Chains A and B, each alone.
Chain A
Amino acid sequence: MREKRYALSRRFASFLKRPVLAMAQGPWGGKPGDSDGTGDGEASDGASEGPRNPWTQPSGGGRREGSEGSGRRSSLIDDLMQRSRKGFGGGGGGGPRGGFPGGAEARSLWPIALAIIVILWIALTSFHRIGPQERGVVLLFGKYSRTLSPGIGLTLPSPLETVETVDVEEIRTIDIGSVAGDSENLVLTGDQNIIDLAYSVRWNIRDAELYKFQIADPDSTIREVAESAMRSVVATVSLTDALGAGRTAIEQQVEQRMQDILNGYRAGVRVQGVAIKQADPPAAVNDAFKEVSAAQQAAQTYLNEARAYAQQLSARSEAESAAFDKVYEQYRLAPDVTRRRMYYETMEAILAETDKTVVETGNVTPYLPLSEVKRRAQAAQDNAASGQGGQ
């Protein structure tokens, strides 16, 4: 038994050495001195051990025949072929000492290969790298066993325990309705009006195992819940709230309602937020809504104009009354003189600049030259016109 194991390890060693030799000798081939020296040593060593060494006859012969690389290589291939044929065909070859040694070696390689495969399999399926944003759900024969935290997780090898990794940190977004004008997502409001709504829902996974096991199709469930929650909330608010002021409240209510419904399902999902991207009147009635804002602007314009008028008027009235007050103060000190002075000054200013005719009544017939007055008026107008044209 011990003998056998020894032989086995030797054979294994030579098996490993073989390709190295082939590589070393193949390309150069022609040098019989140095590179062949080791090969010969190995060959003679094998030859001295007798029939157990697989190299002895064929490789030794090949080497003696010639030092060309092609000959060497073909002999190696022949050797391999031969040995493999022996390995598979020699079922009745008997013990390791009797018959050809090749069969024994090939058969003893099987368990080694198998062991390597099994070890690799265990190594590959027992260690799991869980990223920082992931959780690993471990199933023992399909039964939930535990959840792996980020890092390297150790489990039983594959058929016993399997791991499903779930990304729990990633915030997923569902968009409902579109901001683009081609499609409308019409929603009824509480006062039976219709608005075109586009919103998005952000969520992530809270419990990896609940998310995995609880709902048949979690993603579309969340979408449906979002739509249902949004519609039921919008159905309680008025059009004006939905279009503007109440948006934040709607978002919060929808988020809360979605979370409640999903918790009711034990979905293992956390709703991070709902954002209304667009809440507009439908395109069919948009013009009427624009009219309203136009009317608001117009009303504001009226008010502005009225305020401007009021400012003007009050300033003027204050100015005039202030002026009057000043003059009146002085007038009271010397009423008669001031009155006469003002009268004369005014008359002087007027009469100095105008045509005047003094008519003595009694012996002069008053004659009012209306035609003359008209003509002069005409001339004055012409003068004014030419004066303007000349400029």
Chain B
Amino acid sequence: MPAAFRNPVTLALIVLALIILLGSTFSIVPETRQAVVVRFGEPVAIYNPYKANESFGKTGAGIKARLPFADQVVWIDKRIQSVEMERQQVLSTDQLRLQVDAFARYRIVNPLRMYISAGTEERVEDALRPILGSALRNELGKRTFAALLSPERGQVMNNIEAGLDRVARQYGAEVIDVRIKRADLPDGTPLQSAFQRMRTARQQEALTIRAQGEKQAQIIRAEADATAAKIYAESFGKDAGFYDFYRAMQAYRRTFDPKANGETSIILSPDNDFLREFRGR
């Protein structure tokens, strides 16, 4: 052994140099990333590029070697990422305003293209965000307010997705989907007038329910009256003359009842039928 290797300082330096050399030669490519290898500014290789429907374990991830010091690795996320659009006001064709929050999900499928056209992932996101906004405004602006709430919305979303995807391809990205997170009426007058409309609709409903209830009640009463009349007629109609008498007797009893209100004084003529026998004829 040469003496130089026994000196711990030299030894440490050598080990350090080896580590640096190893580190700049081998890199561990995780499943979640892809990389472009750049040699003096010129892209020479791509590690672990995205392929559709590949299963993990069969990807290009793992340990990779490169030319030390000359090659530089640019890491690019391989996972699905999202770009969110800040709240936007969208005007529908029937001049109604809607506040829309949307997000798009994308994945960088062509790392080389992305590296050439955008450089970094942040720039891709920055480029996509305003395009998402304008695509959304354009597409939603062609529809009526009601259409934005209907199942037709799916078609709208597909159009936006297609429009955004066209642009995203230029940055080596693929748009997976675009979704509206929220679509609300803007605060202030539109919201208040919507509330007012709901309120009046409820009041209308309340009044209708009340009126319907009254109607039903009246019908029930009338039916009861009719049934009673029928029962009376069936029974009393057997002998109208006797009914007249019978009912009169009942009426007298009730009318002249001393317990009823009012004092009763009766002045009878001797010609009265009741007093017929009184005369002793």
- Interface, chain A (partner B; CB < 8 A): 91, 139-146, 186, 188-190, 192-194, 209-210, 212-217, 220-221, 224-225, 227-228, 231-232, 235-236, 261, 264-265, 281-282, 284-285, 287-289, 291-292, 294-296, 298-303, 305-307, 309-311, 313-314, 316-318, 320-322, 324-325, 327-328, 331-332, 335, 339, 342-344, 346-347, 349-351, 353-361, 368, 373, 376-377, 380
Are A306 and B82 in touch, CB under 8 angstroms?
no
Are B216 and A299 in touch, CB under 8 angstroms?
yes
Among B56, B199, B217, contact of A144 (Cβ-Cβ < 8 Å): B56
- 0 or 1 for each of B23-54: is its CB under 8 Å from A? (1 = yes): 00000111110000000000000000000000
- 0 or 1 for each of B229-271: is its CB under 8 Å from A? (1 = yes): 1011011101100110110010011001110001111111111
Nearest chain A residue, comparing its CB with the CB of B157: A232
- B167 interface residue, CB < 8 Å from A? no
- B18 interface residue, CB < 8 Å from A? no
Are A141 and B63 in touch, CB under 8 angstroms?
yes
Which residues does chain B contribute within 8 Å of A228, judged by CB atoms? 103, 179-181
Q: A194-B185, A292-B202, A361-B271 are in contact. Are A325 and B235 (CB under 8 A)?
A: yes
29 CB contacts below 8 A, A to B, read A141-B28, A141-B63, A142-B61, A144-B56, A190-B150, A193-B201, A194-B195, A213-B78, A216-B77, A224-B103, A231-B183, A281-B198, A285-B198, A292-B202, A299-B212, A306-B218, A309-B220, A314-B227, A317-B228, A317-B231, A324-B243, A327-B246, A328-B239, A344-B274, A346-B253, A356-B265, A357-B265, A359-B269, A376-B263
- Complex alpha-carbon distance, A283 and B167, angstroms: 43
Which residues does chain B contribute within 8 Å of A368, judged by CB atoms? 267
- Interface, chain B (partner A; CB < 8 A): 6-7, 28-32, 56-57, 59, 61-63, 77-82, 103, 105, 145-146, 149-151, 153, 176-177, 179-185, 191-192, 194-195, 198-203, 205-207, 209-210, 212-214, 216-221, 223-225, 227-229, 231-232, 234-236, 238-239, 242-243, 245-246, 249, 252-253, 256-258, 262-271, 274-275, 278
Which residues does chain A contribute within 8 Å of B223, judged by CB atoms? 310
- Complex alpha-carbon distance, A68 and B229, angstroms: 130
Are B181 and A306 in touch, CB under 8 angstroms?
no
- B133 CB to nearest chain A CB (Å): 17
- A140 CB to nearest chain B CB (Å): 7
Among A91, A311, A361, contact of B270 (Cβ-Cβ < 8 Å): A361
- A227 CB to nearest chain B CB (Å): 5
Are A142 and B62 in touch, CB under 8 angstroms?
yes
- Complex alpha-carbon distance, A215 and B105, angstroms: 10
Are A285 and B195 in touch, CB under 8 angstroms?
yes
Nearest chain B residue, comparing its CB with the CB of A226: B181
Q: A264-B176, A291-B206, A314-B224 are in contact. Are A358 and B275 (CB under 8 A)?
A: yes
Q: A353-B258, A361-B271 are in contact. Are A216 and B149 (CB under 8 A)?
A: no
Are A359 and B268 in touch, CB under 8 angstroms?
yes
Are B224 and A288 in touch, CB under 8 angstroms?
no
Among B31, B206, B213, B266, contact of A302 (Cβ-Cβ < 8 Å): B213
Among B180, B198, B270, contact of A194 (Cβ-Cβ < 8 Å): B198
- Complex alpha-carbon distance, A198 and B177, angstroms: 25
Are A295 and B270 in touch, CB under 8 angstroms?
no
Known contacts A213-B56, A288-B198, then 17 further A-B pairs from the complex at CB < 8 Å, ordered by chain A residue: A190-B150, A192-B149, A194-B185, A231-B180, A232-B180, A235-B153, A236-B150, A287-B199, A289-B202, A292-B206, A303-B213, A328-B242, A346-B252, A350-B252, A350-B266, A358-B267, A359-B268
Nearest chain A residue, comparing its CB with the CB of B64: A141
- Complex alpha-carbon distance, A212 and B31, angstroms: 9
Which residues does chain B contribute within 8 Å of A346, judged by CB atoms? 249, 252-253
Are B31 and A213 in touch, CB under 8 angstroms?
yes
Are B234 and A321 in touch, CB under 8 angstroms?
yes
- Complex alpha-carbon distance, A284 and B146, angstroms: 23
Ranked 4 nearest A-B pairs via Cβ: A299-B213, A310-B224, A321-B235, A288-B202
Which residues does chain B contribute within 8 Å of A139, judged by CB atoms? 30-31
Are B210 and A299 in touch, CB under 8 angstroms?
yes
Q: A145-B57, A285-B202, A328-B242 are in contact. Are A227 and B253 (CB under 8 A)?
A: no
Among A289, A328, A342, contact of B249 (Cβ-Cβ < 8 Å): A342
Are B145 and A192 in touch, CB under 8 angstroms?
yes
Are B258 and A231 in touch, CB under 8 angstroms?
no
Q: A227-B182, A261-B177 are in contact. Are A296 and B234 (CB under 8 A)?
A: no
- Complex alpha-carbon distance, A356 and B63, angstroms: 130
Q: A142-B62, A289-B202 are in contact. Are A328 and B149 (CB under 8 A)?
A: no
Are B80 and A215 in touch, CB under 8 angstroms?
yes
- A166 CB to nearest chain B CB (Å): 13
Q: A292-B205, A350-B256 are in contact. Are A143 and B62 (CB under 8 A)?
A: yes
- B180 CB to nearest chain A CB (Å): 7
A142, A224, A322, A349 — most chain B CB neighbours (10 Å): A142
Are A265 and B217 in touch, CB under 8 angstroms?
no
Which residues does chain A contribute within 8 Å of B216, judged by CB atoms? 299, 302-303, 306
- B230 CB to nearest chain A CB (Å): 9
Nearest chain A residue, comparing its CB with the CB of B8: A91
Nearest chain A residue, comparing its CB with the CB of B60: A143
Which residues does chain B contribute within 8 Å of A190, judged by CB atoms? 149-150
- A197 CB to nearest chain B CB (Å): 11
- Complex alpha-carbon distance, A43 and B268, angstroms: 158
- Complex alpha-carbon distance, A75 and B79, angstroms: 65
Among B57, B263, B269, contact of A361 (Cβ-Cβ < 8 Å): B269
Are B184 and A318 in touch, CB under 8 angstroms?
no
- Complex alpha-carbon distance, A353 and B227, angstroms: 38
- B29 CB to nearest chain A CB (Å): 6
Which residues does chain A contribute within 8 Å of B238, judged by CB atoms? 325, 328
Are B265 and A355 in touch, CB under 8 angstroms?
yes
Q: A192-B146, A265-B105, A350-B252 are in contact. Are A324 and B209 (CB under 8 A)?
A: no
Are B234 and A144 in touch, CB under 8 angstroms?
no
Q: A91-B6, A265-B80, A317-B227 are in contact. Are A359 and B198 (CB under 8 A)?
A: no
Among A221, A235, A309, A355, contact of B221 (Cβ-Cβ < 8 Å): A309
